[in-house]
Amino acid sequence: MQMMNEQTGIPFILNGRPVRSLSAPGTRLLEVLRDEFHLTGTKCGCKEGECGACSVLINGRLVTSCLIAVGSIAQQAVLTIEGYRETERFAVLDAAFADMAAVQCGFCTPGMVLATEALLSEHPHPSAEEIRQGLSGNLCRCTGYQALIQAVRTAAQRGAGLW
Amino acid sequence: MMPISQSVIKKDHLAKACGQAMYVADYDTTQMLQGLILRSPHAHAKILSMTYPPLPEGYFTVDYRDVPGINEVHIVKDDTPVYADATVEYIGDPIMMLVGPDERELERLLAQIEVNYELLPAIIDVRDGDTAFFDYHFGKGDMDQAWAEADQIFEECFETGYQEQAYLEPQGLIADYNQGKITVRGSMQCPYYVHGALAKALGLTPDKVRVIQDVTGGGFGGKEDYPSILACQVAVAAYKAKGQPVRVIFGRREDMEFTSKRHPSRCTYKAAVKNGRVTALDADVIFNAGAYTTLSAVVLQRGIIAASGVYDIPALKVHGAAIKTNTVPNGAYRGFGAPQTFFAVEMLMEHIANALDEEPLAFKLRHMVRQGSVTSTGGRYHFPVPLPAMVDEVRKMSDFEQKRQVYARQQTGTTRRGIGISLWFHGAGFTGSGERDIIKAVTRLHKLADGRVEILASQSDIGQGIKTTLCKIVANELNLPLDQVSYDNPDTDRVPDSGPTVASRSLMTVGELLRRAAIRLRSQWQEGVEQTVEEHFKEPDFVIPFYIDKFQGDAYPTYAWGVCAVEVAVDTLTGVNEITGTWASFDVGTPIDLNIVIGQMEGGLLQGLGYASMEQLAADQKGRIRNHSFSDYIIPTAMDVPLMKVQLHVEAYPDGPYGAKGAGELPLVGAAPAYMSALEQALAGPINHIPFSAEDALKLIRQSRRA
């Protein structure tokens, strides 16, 4: 963790806590999270915004952190898997993903979990089409998506009222 | 369903779901050096000289002169250099590595390295190739008689393209040389392959080499041989760094452009038909090997053994060649040569049936092998062939007959529909005698004094769930709760060589060894003491010995079977098609975990559908791979996944654990021909190449309009 200094760095909220990044403003948020804050649950799969492995939530909105410059997120709230895993919603998603064996190699999973959170926040009772759309920014090469889609549907049912 | 098939929560689920699982890129890099590889910009050239810029302190270069052992990567043959010495053989051939603490500085310095080349003629198109790395012939029956007596002869050439494994986690390894011992860890399928390669390149005895698999973000064959190459390169750098670990993590572009892919193929088939039956088949199978041999020999072997598909053809002549080109070396990808030949033989059977005015499925069923039939290599199908029952299952699920008839009528309007079906097998485990003569797998069970049991084996969990399924087998035999049995990522200092994680062999072969070990441990169980039992591979008695020089005998002890129907709707204005349904039945024997097996089937099937359509990758005239990012190599997203219904048909294999046989590769192998058969019906024209694009569909629409 960097030294806190009120005069320097880019201030933002990381998993509920105020932090400052001492990286150059043009640094990818992905690199800030992994290298500066050692939050390695956010994965790097392409650095081009295509694969979704680096997905995080900024003010509740799903983004690929490889395409976000840290200088552009001053004062905003970033939620990574490390913060999200402490929530009740994560517990519901985790159980649904586990029951459907929706995790294979696991590299897309943290991003997929956050994509599911964004999806259920917008559509607490998503249709099949809404689920497919909600996950379509996140590539998974292992599952063929069937188990993931089923896991989201299951989580939506079990988590009634949470989203 | 057997109790062991009941799904459990996967052993590695929680760590992966909550982002705590440590992949190789996740280790703290503060004490590590980074490496960047300089690669050839030319497809074929002689290296005349290299000039390195002055380097800041802490930076150094690594090239072939630094290799302490032999400058060869041990794979099957050893022609891949660790670093190029005299010549470069493809665009991307590694020349040297620049090592230092800061990645951006490395990029800046790398751009200043000057290499003088003398350009040499390059072979890019496989049709221009004049070097066959491997050239095999085999056959059976009387070909001359079949041709002489034939009513009709059919000849057709089928082509398949590259396919990129596109695992989500790029290749990456860390090497550390300390006190005379090299340790390499990271993303890989086969720790002992890497171990063998390191010993040779570094000139070290096996006890001075340690390889550890980290959590691996997918492999699909792409991490079978490639990590051996990268490991040697990184290890030589660590050897020179003397005490500081060196890390290389590929970016997506480097990974897609320069690591192994599925072999593009050209298969020319000739068939003799008499009285409505195929009496002879002549298959000429050409695989584009790329610049070095890597795994081409074994990929080609599996491909040509499957040349006649699931059909009993009395006379057979097969020729297979892996041709050298000055392009990226191709290697293992789920299916390992079989998707290419299954595409050819399935489409050929469709086309012959169409020409004979017979429904292709009926035509195929009339030719199908059954229990006791002779295989292409003179072996036997020792066990029941469940294809007829599986075909019935898929017919019912998909409403095949009804749809096939309706779509066969003249279609009008902008949407054209079709449905197709394909049948295939996948030989379970290593081809031929590899398991018996080369791998000689060893496994151990280690029981702690408190009664917990640890599995010691070298299988990598790359997402397929082997950590969970192996533990289930051992826990079941020992009557232990699942949490009392553990299996860590393999570390060659701790585990015996139970072979690589390839060829759909891990669960069937290593799982069975562990089951036997567990039975032995149970019979010797003593409370309160540590115990170890060891189990060695033994070939089942029924196997007809296989001789690779003659391609004779049982190439596989048993087979997994697949039947798949695909339904499509094509927009005739754009050529774009949508898969409106996919139905499949797979026989992989007893599923050791239903969720895990279904996950393998669905994931593999979708890779097979991608292979047939959107996954387009090509080298340009200079031999450069043009599609090197997810922006221009398109793999299926959740929006592209069709309605998919997969069911299992269980034909238990007596020599696999509880009846399990090979599973992982099967679902990909025959998906493409079902898809293309459906498109043929929709477009009313023949298809003989994949990937088949929207542009290809438009061409076919125009052709059939003219006709």
A140 neighbourhood in chain B, CB within 8 Å:
168, 638
Calculate helix-pair angle for A109-122, A88-99, nearest 10 degrees. 120
Q: Mutation target for A interface from B14, B16, B189, B464: give the one with most A CBs within 10 A.
A: B16
Nearest to B321, CA basis, from B293, B348, B346: B293
Please judge whether B644 and A146 are an interchain contact, meaning their C-beta atoms are less than 8 angstroms apart: yes
Q: How confident is the model at residue B242 (pLDDT cuts 50, 70, 90)?
A: confident
**Alpha carbons B165 and B365: distance in angstroms, whole number:** 33
CA distance B513 to B517: 6
Cβ-contact B561, B385 below 8 angstroms: yes
Instruction: Test A101 with B599 for CB contact under 8 angstroms.
Output: yes
Taking contacts as CB-CB distances below 8 angstroms, the residues of chain B near A65 are none
Q: What is the pLDDT of residue B704?
A: 81
Q: Where are the domains of chain B?
A: 24-118+169-257, 358-431+554-706, 434-536
Q: pLDDT tens digits for B409-438?
A: 989 899 999 999 999 999 999 999 999 999
- Is B428 within 8 Å of B586 (Cβ atoms)? no
The residue among A52, A83, A114 that closes a domain is A83
Average pLDDT over residues B541-558: 96
Element (H, E) at B45: strand B45-51
Residue A39 lies in a domain: yes
Q: Percent of chain A, pLDDT > 70? A: 96
Do A35 and A62 share a structural domain? yes
- Cβ-Cβ contacts under 8 Å, B26 against chain A: 34, 40
Q: Looking at the structure, do residues A91 and A153 belong to the same domain, yes or no? A: yes
Residue A106 lies in a domain: yes
Instruction: State the nearest Cα–Cα gap between B540 and chain A, in angstroms.
Output: 32
Domains B24-118+169-257 and B358-431+554-706 share a fold: no
Contacting residues of A for B639, CB less than 8 Å apart: 132-133, 136
Chain B contact probe: residue of A107, A109, A127 with most B CBs at under 10 A: A107
Q: What is the 3-state secondary structure (H, E, C) of B296-309?
A: HHHHHHHHHHCCCC
Question: CA of A143: which chain B residue's CA is closest?
Answer: B603
pLDDT of B707 strictly over 90: no
Same domain, A121 and A144: yes
Contact assignment for A147 to B598 by CB distance below 8 Å: yes
* Least Cα separation, residue A12 to chain B (angstroms): 22
CB-CB under 8 Å, A97 with B638:
no
- pLDDT above 60 (res A4): no
**Partner-chain contact A104 B28, CB within 8 Å:** no
What is the average pLDDT score of chain B?
97
Which residue of B lies nearest to A46 if distances are taken between CA atoms? Answer: B252
Both tokens of B44, joined, read: 């074929």
CB-based contact A105 B641, cutoff 8 Å: no
Grade residue B459 by pLDDT with cuts at 50, 70 and 90. Answer: very high
Check if CATH label 3.40.50.2000 holds for domain B358-431+554-706.
no
Residues in CB range of B578: below 8 A, 6 or more apart: B568, B569, B570, B571, B642
Please check whether residues A70 and A95 belong to one and the same domain.
no
Residues A79 and A92 in one domain: no
Question: Among residues A50, A83, A116, which one ends one of the domains?
Answer: A83
Min Cα distance B404 → chain A (Å) is 26
CATH number at residue A130: 1.10.150.120
Q: How many residues belong to chain B?
A: 707
pLDDT in tens, B24-74: 999 999 999 999 999 999 999 999 999 999 999 999 999 999 999 999 999
What was the pLDDT predicted at B26?
Answer: 98
Contact residues on chain B for A127, CB-CB shorter than 8 A:
none
DSSP string, B116-133: EEEE-----SGGG---EE
pLDDT for res A7: 66
The tally of domains found in chain A comes to 2
Q: Looking at domain B434-536, does it have CATH number 3.40.228.10?
A: no
Q: In terms of domains, do A50 and A62 share one?
A: yes
Q: Is the pLDDT of residue B549 over 60?
A: yes
The Cα–Cα gap between B46 and B51 comes to: 15
Where does the pLDDT of residue A2 fall: very low under 50, low under 70, confident under 90, or very high at 90 and above?
very low
CATH number at residue A36: 3.10.20.30
How crowded is residue B519: how many other Cβ atoms within 10 Å of its Cβ? 14
Chain B residue closest in CA terms to A80: B19
What pLDDT is stored for residue B642 in this prediction?
84
Identify the pLDDT of residue B1.
83
Co-location of A14 and A78 in the same domain: yes
Asked if A107 lies within 8 A of B217 by C-beta distance, the reply is: yes
Supply A84's token pair.
């999200």
Q: Cα–chain-centroid distance for residue A123?
A: 17
Q: Please name the residue that has the structure tokens 């960047």.
A: B36
Residue A128 lies in a domain: yes
A135, part of any domain: yes
Q: Do residues A16 and A71 both lie within one domain?
A: yes
* Contact state of A98 with B17 under an 8 Å Cβ cutoff: yes
In this structure, the answer to whether residues A79 and A98 fall within a common structural domain is no
pLDDT confidence of residue A160: 83
First to last CA, chain A: 32
| Share of residues in chain B with pLDDT > 70 (%) | 100
Provide, as residue numbers in chain B, all residues whose Cβ is less than 8 Å from the Cβ of A136.
Answer: 637-639
Longest dimension (CA), chain B: 82
Are B217 and A81 a contacting pair at CB < 8 A?
Answer: no
Which residue type sits at B164? E
* Contact between A41 and B18 using a beta-carbon 8 Å cutoff: yes
User: With 60 as the cut, is the pLDDT of residue A35 above it?
Assistant: yes
In the sheet where B45-51 sits, what is the strand order? B87-88, B45-51, B114-119
Bridge-based pairing of strands B453-456 and B277-290 is unpaired
Distance from CA of B355 to the nearest CA of A (A): 35
CATH class of B24-118+169-257: alpha beta
Start-to-end CA span in chain B (Å): 52
Residues of A whose CB is below 8 A from B25: 40, 43-44
Is residue A119 domain-shared with residue A94, that is, in the same domain? yes
Domain containing A104 equals: 87-157
Question: A96 with A40, same domain?
Answer: no
Same-domain check for residues A39 and A68: yes
The tens digit of pLDDT for each residue in B513-538 reads: 999 999 999 999 999 999 999 999 99
pLDDT class for A6, splitting at 50, 70, 90? low
The residues with which B89 forms a beta bridge, in sequence order, are: none
Rounded average pLDDT over A16-34:
98
Q: Is residue A163, in this structure, part of any structural domain at all?
A: no
ipTM: 0.97
- To which H or E segment does residue B96 belong? strand B94-100
Residues of chain B with Cβ-Cβ distance to A93 below 8 Å are: 17
Is residue A111 in some structural domain? yes
CA-nearest residue of chain A to B460? A105
Does residue A1 register a pLDDT over 50? no
* A103 in a structural domain: yes
Which residues of chain B are within 8 Å of residue A143 when distances are taken between CB atoms?
A: 599, 602-603
- B491, pLDDT greater than 60: yes
Domain-terminating residue out of A38, A67, A83: A83
